Amino acid sequence: MQKVVILLSVLGVSLALAMPVLARDFVLSDQQIEDIRASCVKSQAALKRVHTSDALLRVNIGQRYENISLRLMAPLNSRIALNGLDVVDLATTTTSYNQELKDFVKNYREYETTVANALKLKCSEQPVEYYSLVDASREGRAFVRANMVRLDQLIKQYRSQVSDFSQKRDLK
């Protein structure tokens, strides 16, 4: 994983140093394009490894996030509500969590599609398009990461709310 990050970083830095050909919102020089062509086989191999490991991680992490919602939050909220107790804070957090989970799934699918498209491309023949897709993949991965950070925050928030609820209940 570190090799992939280093390879993509080196590729990014080397590409940031030259001149003109537009790809997405950046300009690539002829030298940068040649650098992409020269390193594209290694770059695609690294990208394929990242793609493979990300797919497995997505399944495992996605299942955990879904289980938290379906097997913990929803049943606990229902049980508290059936007992006639105030569940507004927990329900609000659960709603936010479920929306963030939907965003995570959507963003991951977009990221996965972008990476798959980059892997299908003949980077030696279409270096600018390849670089554009790799850049879009980085951006997509950042969105997925942001979703995961937010989901983890919401889990901690929910846990804190359950603890507060329990303490209030014990005081009565």
- What SS3 string covers the chain? CHHHHHHHHHHHHHHCCCCCCEECCEECCHHHHHHHHHHHHHHHHHHHHHHHHHHHHHHHHHHHHHHHHHHHHHHHHHHHHHCCCCCHHHHHHHHHHHHHHHHHHHHHHHHHHHHHHHHHCCCCCCHHHHHHHHHHHHHHHHHHHHHHHHHHHHHHHHHHHHHHHHHHHHHC
Confidence (pTM): 0.79
Structure confidence by residue, pLDDT tens digits, 67-124 = 999 999 999 999 999 988 889 999 999 999 999 999 999 999 999 999 999 999 998 9
Structure confidence by residue, pLDDT tens digits, 24-76 = 556 888 899 899 999 989 999 999 999 999 999 899 999 999 999 999 999 99
Structure confidence by residue, pLDDT tens digits, 117-147 = 999 999 899 999 999 999 999 999 999 999 9
Q: What pLDDT, on the 0 to 100 scale, is given for residue 17?
A: 32
Asked if the model's pLDDT at residue 12 lies above 90, the reply is: no
Asked if the model's pLDDT at residue 18 lies above 60, the reply is: no
Q: What pLDDT, on the 0 to 100 scale, is given for residue 168?
A: 82
